Each structure stands twice: as C-alpha cells, then as structure tokens.
C-alpha cells in the first residue's frame, strides 16, 4: 500500500526503517474497519490469534506470547540521553551513541520475509491541542490490533500531525524473541523508542508506558506540562456537578478498581455517580483559567485479568465482553471462551492453559499451577466501559480538583490525610511506598519506595522530575489541586484488613472533595490534616464503627520517624538533584514528629 501522507519527515523516516529492516512489503495502517478485519483473518489463519465465541464474546480474540516473554522487563528497559545526570537511582541509563551502536546490528534485515506495518497513532483525543502523535513500525499484527484499541490510529492521526516533525518514532521488531537480546530503549531527546525481541504488550505497544509516560514525562518537563501514572475519575453529585480526581498507586493497590468504582448504596440512592476518564495515565496542562486540566492519552484499557470478576470490578469485567484481545489467559474449549484465576470458582476442565497446552482436567503444565498467567491481560476498548465519562474525548480535558497518592502500608499511613501545601504534597508523593505482600516474590513487609508510582517510568533525572512538580505548583498558585494520601490496607494484629475497600473507598473520596470545597474541618497533625473520625460516613457499613475509623486514622510517631529515615535514604540514592524544598519538607516533618 502506498503511503497515507505527504509529510516528508514521516516518509523519510519510514524509508530509513525499510532500508534498515528490509521487509518484503510495507503496509500503512489507515484505521479502516475493512483493513483491520483482513488483518484479523490473516492472524486467525497463521494461528497468531484465535477467534473466540462470537455470541458470548463478540469481536474478542485470544493470543499467546512466548513463554519467555510475558511481562515488562525493567532490567532491559533503558533511558538514553546525553545528560549523564540521568544516570541516577530508578533509571537504567546508557549513552545514546553507544546504545545505537549496540542495537543497530540487531535491526539489520530483521524483517526479511516479513511485512512491516506502519501505524500512525494519536495519544489523546483527536483535535486536542494537548494530544501528541506517534508512528510505530512493527512486524506484528497483534501489535497493530492492540494499538487500534489503545490509541486513535490511522488517517486521523496523520491529520492531527499535518506537516509537523513533532512525532515519536517507534521501531519494533519481534526478531527471534531472544530474551538475551531483548531491549526496550527510549531516546527522549530524539523522540524515539526502539523495541526488539519481544512480542508482549507493555514492551511492544509503544504508545503505552514507553511514549505516554517515559517519553511524555520528558516532553512535559521541557514544555511545561505533566505526564503522570494516574487514573482520572469524576464524582457526580445529585445536582449533576462533577469533580475530577487524579490518583497514583503502585501496582496491586487497587488503581483500576478505584478508576471504575461503583458507589455504595447510600450514595447511589442519593444520585451520586462515578465516571471513568482514565484508568492508568493522565497528561495534565495548565488551562486558560489557570487550573490544571487532565486528558487520558489512551483510548482503551490494558488490564491485568486475574482477580477481575463480578465482585472486584464489574465495570472492568463488562468492558472486556466485546472487542477485546485477551493475552495469556486460559482458553475454555467447552464453549470457546476464556478463563482466569479469580474470574469464578469453576475452572474449566476442557481447557488450554496460557501456554496453549491442553489440560487433562487434573494438573496444569504451566509453572505455578495456574491456568492463566498471573500477568495475563485484556486489551479492551474504552467505549465498552459502562461508566465511561462523557468527557472522555473532551479536547480540553477535565479540571482536576484533587490529587491522591496511595500505597499499601500495614500500620504506618492512616486511611487518609491531606498535605499542608503543594510543596508538602510533592514531598508526600515523592515518599510514596508499598510493603510487599505474600503474593510478591521475596520477604513480606519490605518497604519499596515508588515516588508518584513512577518508579519504572521516569524518563529523566528523578530529582529534576521532583523539581518539575514544584515548578508546576508555582505556575498554578492558589488554583493548584489539593493533594491527599490514602491507604486502604491498614491491618489488625492478625493481619486482616480493617477497611473494607472497593466501592466503600468512595466514603473517603467524599471527605477529600468536601475538604476541597471547604465544607469540613480537619485535625492538624505532624503528618498533615486528618479527618475528624465522625466526618467519614460509615452509614450501613457492617463491622465498621467510629472506633474503627479512629484506629484507621491513628498516627504512630515512632513508625513515622522510622519511615522518614527511609525517605532520607531514597533522597540520598537519587542524589544532589533532589530539590532543597523537599529536603526541607522532610526535616520539618521530623521536627513535628519529635515534638
């Protein structure tokens, strides 16, 4: 197929990719349903995809990756800039010229005998001044079809780009799926991403974490906006007014569940609703009125399947029921559907596990005794989400009232508290941490620092990233969102969770929004503003009393002083780029705790 654009910058780069990787043919992806349908049919014939039961799961397909290629590979993920200061804690850095010399031979002739697909795509609503365009070349139909769900692909993306040279160049080749030569490499100064020897989602859907976080956070740093690992949700009150909240959580802390929260009955009866704008990433800019506005750069959801069910997240489950690509889940051969651990309590007996091998009804061949891989995924169009916000495609984004940070802490962090100021809130975000659980590898209860939930996704020096947050606060002034911290995971002495979580987290969101509106007082403590226990609505909440809430809001000064040492260690690891303002916030916290 001939090219879809007259943009010479694009044409020159695609020609460069053809000369390097020498595909047998090149197909430009126009985004038409006819072209996508033909690609699906081709993938069914080769076995790359399996068509599922079209009555029960219309438009849904199943894919298996290689057994050695099932997750993001942080040790193989690099940031390559000319700034040696980017070689800091939490960043795997290499000098760009050296990396290009290392990788270029791997790409030479790598698509011989294969087709190169050229995917123009738009991150964010088409027509938004805040959206950005990327072009990914790939030899994988799986990538094309996933990018169609996760981004806005084809001619409309090229229209958004026009004649500009401001696009992210993404080159992906499956090569031999060789784990020893697997690299996911970012060149922020060149607006470029190189991915080779992987076929797994997060490593090859280059619009996702690669562009929307690692490259975009660098773009935001240079251009004066923010790209953050944050969900965006709207809370609609009975009068129809909607307040928007962004929130950052490390993995396994209930981020998707909060993004698609279903209000408890006491709020639903009054007419409250919760709307999903985004489940994973927020791009935020200062609007014409001086407030912070957020768009979701993505167009779909790339979620973890295990644990998703009618109870934990009915909205997410409903979203997967049409037009979804399932990756590394089990194949229920009885009715040609899919299954994963936690979907229900009835694993299929006539099934193929995630590796594609048949199960004899008694034991699974795959490691860990799981039918579905623990990191198995669904790629689902946002349009299938029952609680999708009508502002999802608003080119201006939505105004952010509150920002929330959260972690998994058994004893340290209270249920909720508010920062004293924007700078204090940046400190709170920078000190975010979670404790390892029994489900994670290694020891239980080890604290892993994950600033702003960005640990795997920084695109430049982490201290400079903190400084950018402080600069955004100066820009926003008194129009800045209020910053809060939550912890759904406090446990009793037997290790049981005290707070019920899930939909009942809305009770905490309501206190947060009431604080933003100045409708409720708070208690000033050493760590921030805490609720009066009676201001957390526990109506109809079985087993939770006022004393329970008081316990959830308790602050143990010794634990906090111990935690402050951990933050100091983190800052020392990051080095001299940590802003003086954050070290001052840390010292002020220690002083308050010591009094």
Q: What pLDDT sits at residue 349?
A: 86
Give me the pLDDT at residue 98, please. Answer: 98
Say whether both 419 and 371 belong to one domain.
no
Instruction: Please report the DSSP string for 221-258 in residue order.
Output: HHHT-EEES-EEEEEE-TTS-EEEEEEE--TTS-HHHH
At 63-120, the pLDDT tens digits run 999 999 999 999 999 999 999 999 999 999 999 999 999 999 999 999 999 999 999 9
DSSP string, 465-532: HHHHHHHHHHHHGGGSPEEEEE-TT-B-TTS-BSS--GGGGHHHHHHHHHHHTT-S-EEE-SSSEEE-
- Residue 62, in any domain of the structure: no
Residues 215 and 246 placed together within one structural domain of the fold:
no
Domain final position from 224, 253, 283:
224
455 belongs to a structural domain: yes
Write down the pLDDT at residue 251.
84
243 Cβ neighbours under 8 A, 6+ residues apart: 234, 235, 237, 401, 402, 513, 516
Do 270 and 321 lie in a common domain? no
User: Could you count the other beta carbons within 10 Å of the beta carbon of residue 273?
Assistant: 17
Residues 380 and 350 in one domain: yes
Block residue for tokens 């909060």: 258
All residues at 6 or more sequence positions from 49 whose CB lies less than 8 Å from its CB, including other chains: 40, 43, 61, 62, 63, 141, 142, 145, 325
Domain hosting 476: range is: 228-299+390-594
* Residue 108 DSSP class: T
Q: Are 397 and 362 members of one domain?
A: no
In this structure, is residue 66 part of a structural domain?
no
Domain tally, the chain: 3
Per-residue pLDDT of the chain (595 residues; tens, 9 = 90+): 578 999 999 999 999 999 999 999 999 999 999 999 999 999 999 999 999 999 999 999 999 999 999 999 999 999 999 999 999 999 999 999 999 999 999 999 999 999 999 999 999 999 999 999 999 999 999 999 999 999 999 999 999 999 999 999 999 999 999 999 999 999 999 999 999 999 999 999 999 999 999 999 999 999 999 999 999 999 999 999 999 999 999 988 889 999 999 999 999 999 999 999 999 999 999 999 999 999 999 999 999 999 999 999 999 999 999 999 999 999 999 999 999 999 999 999 899 999 999 886 555 555 557 899 999 999 999 999 999 999 999 999 999 999 999 999 999 999 999 999 999 999 999 999 999 765 444 566 789 999 999 999 999 999 999 999 999 999 999 999 999 999 999 999 998 999 999 999 999 999 999 999 999 999 999 999 999 999 999 999 999 999 999 999 999 999 999 999 999 999 999 999 999 999 999 999 999 999 8
The tally of CA atoms less than 13 A away on the side-chain side of residue 380 is 25
* Known binding positions for Mn(2+): 209, 229, 280
Q: Select which of 60, 88, 217, 253 is catalytic.
A: 253
Q: At what angle do helices 580-594 and 557-574 cross, to 10 degrees?
A: 160
Do 354 and 267 lie in a common domain? no
Element (H, E) at 330: strand 330-332
Place of tokens 């952010």: 400
Percent helix, strand and coil across the chain, each rounded to 5? Answer: 35, 20, 45
CB 355 within 8 A of CB 67: yes
Q: What is the pLDDT of residue 378?
A: 98
Residue 402 pLDDT = 99
Position 509 scores a pLDDT of: 98
Q: What per-residue confidence (pLDDT) applies to 413?
A: 98
**Whether residue 399 sits in one domain with residue 482:** yes
In this structure, the answer to whether residues 452 and 519 fall within a common structural domain is: yes
Q: Are 133 and 168 within 8 A, CB to CB?
A: yes
Separation CA 148–CA 524 (nearest Å): 49
Q: Which of 280, 293, 477, 305 is nearest to 377 (CA)?
A: 305
Token pair in block for residue 576: 């001299």
Task: Measure the CA–CA gap between 209 and 134, rounded to whole angstroms.
Answer: 13
Active site residue 385: no
Q: Do 161 and 129 sit in the same domain of this protein? A: yes
Please report, in range form, the residues annotated as the binding site: 72, 200-202, 209, 229, 251-257, 280, 375-377, 408, 502-505
- Numbered residues of the known binding site for GTP: 252-257, 377, 408, 502-505
For 368, counting Cβ atoms within 10 Å of its Cβ (0-12 exposed, 13-18 middle, 19+ buried), the class is exposed
Token pair for 64 = 């298996």
- Three-state SS for 277-296 is EECCCEEEEECCCCCEEEEC
DSSP 168-186: EEEEEE-TT--GGG-EEEE
For helices 580-594 and 462-476, the axis angle rounded to 10 degrees is 80
User: Rounded to 5 degrees, what angle do the CA atoms 361, 366, 368 make?
Assistant: 100
CA atoms within 13 A on the CB side of 342: 17
Q: Using alpha carbons only, give the angle 535, 251, 340 rounded to the nearest 5 degrees.
A: 110
Residue positions in the annotated binding site for substrate?
Answer: 72, 200-202, 251, 375-377
Give the CATH number for residue 352: 2.170.8.10
344 found inside a domain: yes
State whether 396 and 491 are in the same domain: yes
Are 85 and 464 contacting, i.e. CB atoms less than 8 angstroms apart?
yes
Residues 61, 40 contacting (CB under 8 angstroms): yes
- Do 284 and 427 belong together in one domain? yes
How many angstroms separate the first and last alpha carbons of the chain?
A: 72
R_g (Cα) of the chain, nearest Å = 24
CATH number at residue 272: 3.90.228.20
Which candidate, 159, 162, 167, places its Cα nearest to that of 137? 167
Residue 99, CA atoms < 13 Å, CB-side half-sphere: 23
Distance CA 135, CA 523 (A): 51
CB 365 within 8 A of CB 359: yes
Q: What is the per-residue pLDDT for 3? A: 85
Residues in the chain: 595
pTM for the structure as a whole: 0.97
| Same domain membership, residue 329 and residue 220 | no
Residue 60 domain flag: no
**Which H helix or E strand runs over 79?**
strand 77-79
């Amino acid at each position: 197929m001939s090219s879809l654009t007259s943009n010479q910058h694009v044409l020159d780069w695609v020609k460069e990719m053809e000369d390097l990787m020498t595909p047998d043919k090149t197909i430009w992806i126009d985004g038409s349903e006819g072209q996508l349908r033909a690609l699906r049919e081709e993938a069914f014939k080769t076995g790359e995809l399996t068509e599922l039961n079209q009555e029960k799961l219309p438009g849904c397909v199943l894919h298996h990756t290689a057994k050695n290629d099932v997750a993001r590979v942080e040790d193989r993920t690099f940031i390559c800039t000319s700034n040696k200061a980017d070689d800091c804690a939490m960043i795997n850095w290499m000098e760009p010229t050296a990396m290009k010399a290392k990788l270029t031979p791997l790409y030479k002739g790598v698509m011989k005998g294969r087709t190169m697909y050229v995917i123009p795509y738009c991150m964010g609503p088409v027509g938004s001044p805040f959206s950005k365009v990327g072009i990914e070349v790939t030899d994988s139909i799986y990538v094309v079809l996933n990018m169609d769900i996760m981004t806005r692909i084809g001619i409309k993306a090229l229209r958004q780009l026009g004649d500009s040279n401001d696009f992210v160049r993404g080159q992906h080749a499956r090569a031999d799926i060789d784990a020893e030569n697997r690299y996911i490499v970012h060149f922020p100064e060149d607006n470029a991403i190189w991915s080779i020897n992987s076929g797994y989602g997060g490593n090859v859907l280059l619009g996702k974490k690669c562009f929307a976080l690692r490259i975009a956070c660098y773009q935001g740093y240079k251009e004066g906006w923010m790209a953050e690992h944050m969900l965006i949700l709207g809370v609609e009150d009975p009068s129809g007014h909607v307040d928007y909240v962004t929130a950052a959580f490390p993995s396994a802390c209930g981020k998707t569940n909060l993004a698609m929260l279903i209000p408890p009955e006491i709020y639903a009866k009054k007419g409250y609703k919760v709307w999903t704008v985004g489940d994973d990433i927020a791009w935020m800019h200062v609007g014409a009125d001086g407030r912070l506005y957020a768009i979701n750069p993505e167009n779909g959801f790339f979620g973890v399947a295990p644990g998703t069910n009618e109870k934990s997240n009915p909205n997410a489950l409903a979203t997967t029921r049409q037009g979804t690509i399932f990756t590394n889940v089990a194949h229920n051969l009885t009715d040609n559907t899919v299954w994963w651990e936690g979907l229900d309590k009835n694993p299929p007996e006539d099934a193929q596990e995630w590796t594609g091998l048949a199960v004899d009804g008694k034991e699974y061949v795959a490691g860990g005794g799981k039918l579905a891989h623990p990191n198995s995924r669904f790629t689902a169009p946002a349009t299938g989400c029952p609680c999708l916000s009508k502002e999802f495609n608003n080119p201006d984004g939505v105004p952010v009232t509150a920002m929330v940070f959260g972690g998994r802490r058994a004893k340290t962090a209270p249920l909720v508290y508010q920062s004293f100021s924007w700078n204090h809130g940046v400190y709170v975000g920078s000190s975010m941490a979670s404790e390892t659980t029994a489900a994670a590898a290694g020891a239980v209860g080890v604290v892993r620092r994950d600033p702003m939930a960005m640990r795997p996704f920084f695109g430049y020096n982490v201290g400079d990233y903190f400084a950018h947050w402080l600069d955004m606060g100066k820009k926003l002034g008194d129009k800045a969102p209020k910053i809060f911290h939550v912890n759904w995971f406090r446990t009793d002495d037997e290790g049981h969770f005290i707070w019920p979580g899930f939909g009942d987290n809305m009770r905490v969101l309501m206190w947060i929004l009431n604080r933003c509106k100045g409708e409720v007082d708070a208690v000033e403590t050493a760590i921030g503003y805490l609720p009066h226990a009676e201001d957390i609505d526990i109506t109809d909440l079985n087993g939770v009393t006022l004393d329970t809430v008081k316990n959830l809001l308790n602050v143990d000064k010794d634990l906090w002083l111990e935690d402050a040492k951990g933050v100091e260690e983190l800052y020392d690891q990051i080095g001299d780029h940590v802003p003086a303002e954050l070290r001052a916030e840390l010292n002020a916290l220690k002083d308050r705790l010591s009094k």
